Amino acid sequence: MNAVQLENWLSEVPIESAIIDLVPRLLAEIPAGYSFETDEWDVIEWETRGVSKKRRSTLAFSRIAHTELREIAKLWVLDGRLKKQTGVGSAKWKISILAPLAEVLGARPLRTLKTNDFYDAESKLREEFAPGTAFRGSGYLESASSWLGRSLGLPLDYHSRLINPSVHGRYGTDEGKANKLVPDSVFRDLILARHREDLIAKDTFYLNVLVIQMATGFRISELAALPADCLLREGGHLQILHYPAKGGRPVPRPIHPSMKDVVEDAVSALSEITAEARAVAKEIRRDQTLDWTAIYANETALRYFVAKWANEWTSNPKHLMINPNGAWLNRDQCFVDAIGVLEKAGGVKTKAAQTLQVSRITFDNLLAAQEAARRGELPVVANSKSKGQQRNSWDTDLRVVSFLNLEKHTSVAIRQKKRALIRDILDEAQKTQLAGKVYPAPDYDRDFEGSFRFEVRPLIKNKQGKPLIYPHEALLVTQKYALSEHRGTKADAFTVIGESGFSDWLGGVARSHGTGNHEDSVFRRLEIIDRRTGECAKFTSHDVRHWLNTIYQNGGLTEDQIALIFNRKHKQQNAVYDQTSNRERSERMKQAIRDKIALGAATDTYSRLAEFSRDDAEDYLEAVVRMVNPMPHGVCMLDWSTSPCPHHLSCFSCETEDKGPCEHLIVDPGNENHLEEMKRIAKEADLIVEAIEAQGIDESPQIDHFKQVRTNVNVMLERIPAVEVD
């Protein structure tokens, strides 16, 4: 379907002209080799991270059963790609949530879509996915409702009814926070374990990776793309250069001084461990070697490249089986002119053997092999049992074409089914080689030669497709199987750390949500105990970010500072990672009240009581600080689980003898968020009062309410130094 045909079809749907006008540009976003009619696109070129390990990344529009909705889904994906460079993950989510919507729509025309259809699709999401996944999917369903409503001109107004099931984070339960927050003692024991002498290679590697993550809070995708030369030392401080994920700002990640030495040590150790793998990755990229894994998956290509290998192998002078000019000396992996050496030694074999630094028996065998070659014959058997007889099998000879040598060359184990496909080629090539001839090369195939070269893809690219870092430039690239006891045939290939590798090391927790293979986890091998339970510890790689975020929260960093450190677009995202317990918050709040840092009725009352009786003041503090509920403009200390808010969450609307906000409200004058929110509330109250008065209304419950709010906010703002109140 070309642009004109698609425009005509969209006009019949009909769809908004703004989308139709974009059709030529939208079609240009389709990956090369595919058309709009194709229901499955390989969008590997859209991937910006982890691309070095993937061969394909498929968008399966075929999952959407409704024909019209399937075509519109392609436009939705392309529209996001054109305007926002939408990633593959978002595109796959769009398909995932439109699939159940298509089931709901059934055989009805697309334009019969109703808001209730989206709620029915939401029900399917809830049935099909885990609560957290369904909640996330409902967000994409809201986006679909909005986009389809605008594009089709339909009155769609779907809003998710699903609730985020998370029980941890700043607004979670204390139990949920405690379960999410990994104890400091577990991380301390893991750091100390780095110096154990009985560590296996995998533990040595990942313990050093964990140290870096503990100090930085990097996501796994960010760890995977760390440059080999990632340390930045400036003014006695240490930072780590990295490529941030999820649109983060490209700033070096600061390392806390207490972690400086251990991070430097970890990076140094990893650099040494991975040096050889980087060299392999660089060599493969330079030489453009064949991708034998892909070749073995294509029968025609397999026969072509095996025949080509057989030709190259038998053309190699070192692989001659009948060489009149010399005999093969295994020790030195070369031919030696035994006859010529004997002539120079005056026909004395002992002297000739000494010249070649071999035994007399070995020299006799070399001499016999060269004399046989001059007669056009193969060497005879040299061992004592069958000495002088012709060999029946040459498969174990390192110079002869064989499955053994093919496996060594390709680094791929050949299964019996594949052997049957190429046995005739190897048999004929071996026969040709043993006759002293070269196996003929297959006719040159340009398509095969261009399609089966091993392309070393970059680890990450920017949104414009420009490579940012290749495996040979990364810190965490290893030789395949180097971190395990397994010894495979691809020991010379390289691999890069990913989510699965780290997860497996932790016992598979990240992928299995706590039901992974704990028997093979690092915690069990090293006997790392969670002292809360007395059992082996377990956590996910993402839990490390929660732990570090909480450390910074408790250390007094501002929300802006924490968001900057973790490369978050919005500081509100800190909340889900903040696992500080209510007890800790309460203790910090009590101290802030004692030190008169916090402002509010509780601080004033405590100060007055403390002038007469410190004990009475402490009793009051214990009674009043029961709960710490963060709010945009301060902190509410009322226990909402037992007492409902008397002002319906409007802290500045209360009417009391002493002007000011609710007695349960505490404000941190050093918190810019609290100040900005109070200024916003005061400004909005001013505007509303002015708007009502402009209508000639001087008295009403509404104007009285907002005047009260304005007064109470200004009372609090006036108590804060350096804040000007209009």
In a shared domain, residues 345 and 256: no
Asked if 397 and 378 count as a contact pair (C-beta separation under 8 A), the reply is: no
In a shared domain, residues 499 and 609: no
Does residue 42 fall inside a structural domain?
Answer: yes
Does residue 640 fall inside a structural domain?
Answer: yes
In a shared domain, residues 434 and 465: no
Distance CA 633, CA 624 (A): 19
- Domain hosting residue 141, numbered range: 3-152
If one counts every other C-beta atom within 10 angstroms of the C-beta of residue 107, the result is 6
In a shared domain, residues 445 and 297: yes
Chain centre to alpha carbon of residue 19: 34
Q: Which two tokens stand for residue 154?
A: 């339909």
State the pLDDT confidence band at 117, using cuts at 50, 70 and 90.
very high
- Among 709, 701, 715, which Cα is nearest to 682's? 709
If one counts every other C-beta atom within 10 angstroms of the C-beta of residue 590, the result is 19
In a shared domain, residues 204 and 346: no
- Among 52, 113, 48, 107, which Cα is nearest to 81's? 48
Cis check: omega of the bond before 14, within 30 degrees of 0: yes
Asked if 46 and 461 count as a contact pair (C-beta separation under 8 A), the reply is: no
- pLDDT single digits (tens) 623-651: 888 777 778 888 888 877 677 787 777 88
Residue 273's pLDDT is what?
92
Residue 289's pLDDT is what?
72
State the pLDDT confidence band at 287, using cuts at 50, 70 and 90.
low
Which own/partner pairs from 30-33 qualify as long-range (CB within 8 Å, at least 24 positions apart)?
Answer: 30/78
Q: 3-state DSSP call for residue 488?
A: coil
Asked if 490 and 480 count as a contact pair (C-beta separation under 8 A), the reply is: yes
Give the burial class of 295: count Cβ atoms within 10 A of its Cβ; 0-12 exposed, 13-18 middle, 19 or more buried: buried
Asked if 474 and 225 count as a contact pair (C-beta separation under 8 A), the reply is: yes
Residue 53's pLDDT is what?
58
Inform me whether the pLDDT recorded for 515 exceeds 50: no
- pLDDT single digits (tens) 662-692: 888 888 887 777 888 888 888 888 888 888 8
Does residue 670 fall inside a structural domain?
Answer: yes
Least confident of 14-23, 141-150, 240-249, 253-262: 240-249
Q: 3-state DSSP call for residue 258?
A: helix
Residue 354, CA atoms < 13 Å, CB-side half-sphere: 7
Please name every residue paired with 395 in a beta bridge, in sequence order, or none if there are none.
Answer: none
**CA-based Rg of the chain, rounded to a whole angstrom?**
36
State the pLDDT confidence band at 497, using cuts at 50, 70 and 90.
confident
In a shared domain, residues 517 and 608: no
Distance CA 622, CA 616 (A): 10
Asked if 207 and 528 count as a contact pair (C-beta separation under 8 A), the reply is: no
Does residue 86 fall inside a structural domain?
Answer: yes
Length of the chain as a residue count: 726
Distance CA 208, CA 272 (A): 12
In a shared domain, residues 280 and 147: no
Asked if 19 and 6 count as a contact pair (C-beta separation under 8 A), the reply is: no
Q: Which two tokens stand for residue 611?
A: 């002038």
Does residue 514 fall inside a structural domain?
Answer: yes
Least confident of 179-193, 443-457, 527-541: 443-457
The H or E element that residue 618 is part of is helix 614-624
Scan for tokens 């025309």, then name that residue: 109
| Average pLDDT rounded to a whole number, residues 361-383 | 83
Largest CA distance in the chain: 131
> Angle at CA 637, nearest 5°, toward 634 and 641?
120
In a shared domain, residues 308 and 329: no
- Among 537, 423, 494, which Cα is nearest to 193's? 537
In a shared domain, residues 426 and 471: no
| Average pLDDT rounded to a whole number, residues 554-578 | 83
State the pLDDT confidence band at 372, using cuts at 50, 70 and 90.
confident
- Among 263, 226, 202, which Cα is nearest to 548's? 263
In a shared domain, residues 72 and 141: yes
Inform me whether the pLDDT recorded for 511 exceeds 60: no
Instruction: Provide the percentage of residues in the chain whose pLDDT is more than 70.
Output: 92
- pLDDT single digits (tens) 537-548: 999 999 999 999
In a shared domain, residues 432 and 464: no
Least confident of 387-391, 429-433, 494-498, 528-532: 387-391
DSSP 381: P
Does residue 568 fall inside a structural domain?
Answer: no
Distance CA 173, CA 442 (A): 70
| Average pLDDT rounded to a whole number, residues 59-65 | 95
Asked if 111 and 13 count as a contact pair (C-beta separation under 8 A), the reply is: yes
- The strand order across the sheet containing 231-234 reads 231-234, 237-240, 253-254
Q: Report in angstroms the alpha-carbon separations of 248 from 219, 242, 252, 272, 569.
A: 12, 11, 11, 29, 7
- Write out the DSSP string of 671-706: -HHHHHHHHHHHHHHHHHHHHHHTTT----HHHHHH
- Write out the DSSP string of 384-401: SSSTTSBPS--TT-TTS-
Q: 3-state DSSP call for residue 664?
A: coil
Q: Report in angstroms the alpha-carbon separations of 331 from 327, 360, 384.
A: 12, 15, 20
Please name every residue paired with 136 in a beta bridge, in sequence order, or none if there are none.
Answer: none
- Among 260, 268, 273, 271, which Cα is nearest to 233's? 260
Scan for tokens 């002002």, then name that residue: 647
Residue 262, Ramachandran bin (φ over 0: left; ψ between -120 and 50: alpha; else beta):
alpha
Is the pTM here over 0.75, yes or no? no
In a shared domain, residues 32 and 84: yes
Q: Report in angstroms the alpha-carbon separations of 593 from 124, 433, 625, 721.
A: 50, 91, 10, 17
Distance CA 98, CA 76 (A): 11
Q: Report in angstroms the alpha-carbon separations of 70 from 19, 39, 98, 156, 437.
A: 16, 8, 8, 18, 60
State the pLDDT confidence band at 429, using cuts at 50, 70 and 90.
very high
Domain boundary among the residues 449, 466, 483 is at 449
Which own/partner pairs from 596-599 qualify as long-range (CB within 8 Å, at least 24 positions apart)?
Answer: 597/668, 597/669, 597/670, 598/635, 598/666, 598/667, 598/668, 599/666, 599/667, 599/668, 599/669, 599/716, 599/719, 599/720
Does residue 83 fall inside a structural domain?
Answer: yes
Name residue 296's amino acid: Y
If one counts every other C-beta atom within 10 angstroms of the C-beta of residue 161, the result is 10
Q: Which two tokens stand for residue 498?
A: 């990913």
Number of domains observed in the structure of the chain: 5
Residue 725's pLDDT is what?
55
Does residue 544 fall inside a structural domain?
Answer: no
Q: Which two tokens stand for residue 285?
A: 């990229």
Residue 51's pLDDT is what?
62
Scan for tokens 């605008």, then name that residue: 150
Please name every residue paired with 237 in a beta bridge, in sequence order, or none if there are none.
Answer: 234
Which string of b and e fits 482-498 if b means at least 16 CB within 10 Å? bbeeeeeebeebbbbbb
Q: 3-state DSSP call for residue 218?
A: coil
Domain boundary among the residues 393, 413, 430 is at 393
Distance CA 336, CA 718 (A): 99
Distance CA 658, CA 593 (A): 20
Inform me whether the pLDDT recorded for 280 exceeds 90: no
Instruction: Provide the percentage of residues in the chain whose pLDDT is more than 90.
Output: 36
Q: 3-state DSSP helix/strand/coil percent for the chain, to nearest 5?
A: 50, 10, 40
Scan for tokens 């030529």, then name that residue: 24
Residue 413's pLDDT is what?
81
Q: Which residue has the higher pLDDT, 481 or 340?
A: 340
Residue 724's pLDDT is what?
59
Residue 585, CA atoms < 13 Å, CB-side half-sphere: 21
- Write out the DSSP string of 393-439: --TT-TTS--HHHHHHHHT-PPPHHHHHHHHHHHHHHHHHHHTT--P
- For the chain, the straight-line distance linking the first and the last C-alpha, in angstroms and rounded, comes to 64
- Among 198, 220, 180, 203, which Cα is nearest to 530's? 180
